[in-house]
Copies of this chain bind each other. A is one copy, B any other.
C-alpha cells in the first residue's frame, strides 16, 4: 500500500513545477484571445502506446482496483508481477490529474484544469509510469529510462527532466518510508533496505574465458524469450475468447489457473528429494516461519526440500535465494530445472487472467532459475558463481522477451547493486535481444496488437517508399466552408466519426478556394452547444471569441466528451451560420499529394500529429485532397488498399521469416 501513497506524493510534488508553466501558457491564451490559433506543436498525441489505451475510459475507479487486485493476486501465489499494476496505477492517477480530477468523487481542484490538454496529460501519464517502475523496483533511474525506452512514443528533454523529478520524489519518499518502517512495524516492507536483491560480492572476478558460456546463456535466453512471447500471444488469444463470454467465465478461468498453480506448487515438491541441512547454515534449518530458505515440507528433521524452499516463498525471496552467491550447494539441479519449467509455464498461463498482472517479476524468477541451471551445468568450468549466472539468466530472459537495453540494464543494476557485472549484463542483453528479434516482436507490441490499439511504429515499412500519400487517401472528404451553415455541420458530425475537418474559404469570401485550416469535432460541438450562430453569412472578426474562455476548449476527461446526439438545435437555428475562422487551427501540417508515404509517416510520427492534410499538386482541384489520420498509416489499411504489396519483395525485406514461426 505505501506505493499508492508514494505515487500520490510525487504527483503533488511535480504538479507545483508544472503549474507555473501551464499558468503562463494559459495566460497567453486568454490575453491574446488567440485561444485556438496558438500553434500547437503537439496539438495531438502519438498515443502513449499501451497506457493511454489502457487507461482510456476507466481511469477513475481502476487505479484503486488495480492496486487491491494486484495485492490479492500476488499474495495468492499467482505467478504474476507487481510492476505492471504499479505502472498502470501510476498512469491512472496521472491520467486522472490530466483530466482535471474527478468531479464525481470530489477530487478536483481549480488549478488542476491547467493540465487539461493533450500534452500535459501525456506527460503526466509518462511520469506516472516512470513512478510505477521506480516504486515497484526501487529503481528510480531505471523507471525514467523505462518510460523513455518503452512507454513514450514522443520524447522531449523537458519530459526527461520531469520524469526524473518524479522518480526522485518516489526515491526519497520510499527512502523515508523505509526509514520509518525500520522499527519493524510494516511487516516485510523495506526488509533488505533500498536495494531489493543485494548480490554485491566483493570479488567478482571473471576473465575472457567466461565470455563464451555467457554468450551461450544469452543465445538460449533469447530463444526462450521469443518462445515465451509466441506462447503468451497464443494463450492470450484463447483467454480473450473465454473472457468475452462474460464475468462468470472470467472468474472461472482465474479460479482454474489459481487451482492449477496451487497444484503445481504443492505437488511438485514431492518430486524433489529431501536434502540434509547444511552444517554451516546461517539461519535455522529447517525453517518454520513464513519466510526462510529451508522449508521442511514433509522431510524428516534435519532435512529440507529445496524445491519447496523456492515455491513456498514470496517471489522476491525466491529471487534473492537464486541470486545470492553462498548457495551453490543448496539446490539440486533437477529441482532448479523443475522450478524453471514450472515458472515458465505458470507465468505464461497466469498473465491475462482477470487479475492485474505484470511481467517483470515472473520473467526475473524464471530467468534466475534458468541461469542458475546453466550455471550448474557449467560447474567448475566457470569462474562465475551460480548466483551471478542467475542474474545473467534473468537478464537474458528479460532481454529476449522485452527487448529493451538501457532501461533493463539500469533496472537490473539498481535491483542487484552489482556494478562490476555490468559489462556482462550488457553483453547478455544485447545477445538475447538480437537473437530474439529475428523471431518476433517484443512482448509489449504483441500485447498491444492483440488488444487492437492502433499503434503506429516509428519507422516506415519498406513498401511505403513505393507509395505516395495520394495512394492511401480514401473516402469522401468532408470539408467545411469558412462560414458554414449549422445544418451542414450537424449533418456532417452526425454522419461521420471524423475528429478533424478542413476549413476552406470558398467564393464569395475569397477569390479562389483557400485552405483556412482545420477545425476539431470537439470544438464544433462546443460551438453548437454555446449556440454562437449568425443569422447571415458575414465575416464577424474575432470578437466572438470573447464569449469563450480557454477552459471551454480544454481537453475533456476520457469518456466525458459531449456527443453531437446530445445537442439540441432548433429548426430555426439550423438555417443560421457559424463563423469557423476564429476556432480554426490556422497552421495545420500539410503534405503534397505526391509526397512519399514513408516520409509523410515520419513527419506524422516525429511531430506527433493526429491529422495531416493532403494538398493537391496543382491547384486545378479543391485546395485539400484528403486528411490522413493514424489509421491511414496502419499496415493493415495500406495492404488492404494495395494487396499486391503483400507479396512484393519490399515487404519481405523487413518482415521476419514467416517460415520460422510456422515451425511451432
Residues of A within 8 A of B (CB): 24, 28, 38-42, 140-141, 144-145, 149, 155-158, 160-161, 164-165, 167-168, 171-172, 174-176, 179, 193-195, 200, 207-208, 211, 405-406, 409-410, 413-414, 417, 419-420, 422-423, 426-427, 430, 433, 458-460, 462, 465, 468, 510-512, 514-515, 586-587, 589-592, 594-596, 598-599, 602-603, 606-608, 615, 617-620, 653
A514 touches B618 (CB 8 A): yes
Given contacts A419-B417, A430-B164, A618-B514, contact A39 B598 (CB under 8 A): yes
A653 touches B141 (CB 8 A): no
A179 touches B193 (CB 8 A): no
B39 touches A599 (CB 8 A): yes
Given contacts A140-B426, A168-B423, contact A618 B587 (CB under 8 A): no
CA of A49 to CA of B158, assembled, Å: 18
Nearest chain B CB to A277's CB is how many angstroms away? Answer: 29
**Within the complex, which residue of B193, B587, B599 is in contact with A587, where a contact is CB–CB below 8 Å?**
B599
B617 touches A619 (CB 8 A): no
B406 touches A41 (CB 8 A): no
CA of A433 to CA of B160, assembled, Å: 13
Given contacts A39-B599, A602-B41, contact A195 B462 (CB under 8 A): no
30 A–B pairs (Cβ distance < 8 Å), ordered by A? A38-B465, A39-B460, A39-B599, A41-B460, A41-B599, A140-B422, A140-B423, A141-B409, A141-B422, A141-B426, A145-B145, A171-B426, A179-B208, A194-B419, A194-B422, A194-B423, A200-B200, A413-B413, A414-B422, A419-B419, A512-B619, A512-B620, A514-B618, A587-B595, A587-B596, A587-B599, A589-B591, A590-B590, A603-B607, A606-B606
CA of A596 to CA of B43, assembled, Å: 13
Among A160, A172, A406, A430, the most chain B Cβ lie within 10 Å of the Cβ of A406
Among A168, A172, A468, the most chain B Cβ lie within 10 Å of the Cβ of A168
CA of A460 to CA of B25, assembled, Å: 13
B405 touches A160 (CB 8 A): yes
Give the residue name and chain of the B residue nearest to A595 (CB): B587
B165 touches A430 (CB 8 A): yes
CA of A515 to CA of B590, assembled, Å: 15
State the oligomeric state as a number of copies. 2
B423 touches A172 (CB 8 A): yes
CA of A465 to CA of B36, assembled, Å: 12
A175 touches B423 (CB 8 A): yes
7 smallest CB-CB distances across A and B, nearest first, come from A619-B619, A168-B426, A171-B423, A39-B596, A587-B596, A41-B602, A39-B598
Residues of B within 8 A of A409 (CB): 141, 164
**Within the complex, which residue of B160, B422, B591 is in contact with A590, where a contact is CB–CB below 8 Å?**
B591
Nearest chain B CB to A273's CB is how many angstroms away? Answer: 38
CA of A460 to CA of B38, assembled, Å: 12
A405 touches B161 (CB 8 A): yes
B405 touches A164 (CB 8 A): yes
**Within the complex, which residue of B149, B460, B586 is in contact with A594, where a contact is CB–CB below 8 Å?**
B586
B420 touches A194 (CB 8 A): yes
CA of A158 to CA of B156, assembled, Å: 17
CA of A322 to CA of B590, assembled, Å: 58
Residues of B within 8 A of A422 (CB): 140-141, 171, 194, 414
CA of A113 to CA of B413, assembled, Å: 38
Residues of B within 8 A of A465 (CB): 38-39
Residues of B within 8 A of A514 (CB): 617-618
CA of A510 to CA of B592, assembled, Å: 17
A193 touches B590 (CB 8 A): no
B515 touches A592 (CB 8 A): yes
Given contacts A175-B423, A420-B195, contact A28 B589 (CB under 8 A): no
CA of A627 to CA of B602, assembled, Å: 20
Nearest chain B CB to A320's CB is how many angstroms away? Answer: 16
Residues of B within 8 A of A587 (CB): 468, 594-596, 599
B462 touches A617 (CB 8 A): no
CA of A647 to CA of B406, assembled, Å: 45
Nearest chain B CB to A623's CB is how many angstroms away? Answer: 9
Among A405, A607, A653, the most chain B Cβ lie within 10 Å of the Cβ of A405
CA of A41 to CA of B607, assembled, Å: 13
Residues of B within 8 A of A417 (CB): 419
CA of A458 to CA of B427, assembled, Å: 33
A426 touches B38 (CB 8 A): no
CA of A586 to CA of B602, assembled, Å: 16
**Within the complex, which residue of B28, B172, B413, B590 is in contact with A462, where a contact is CB–CB below 8 Å?**
B28
- Knowing that A141-B413, A174-B423, A587-B594 touch, tell me 6 more A-B residue pairs with CB under 8 angstroms: A164-B409, A168-B426, A171-B422, A195-B420, A515-B617, A589-B599
A193 touches B420 (CB 8 A): yes
Residues of B within 8 A of A176 (CB): 208
Give the residue name and chain of the B residue nearest to A175 (CB): B423
Residues of B within 8 A of A617 (CB): 514-515
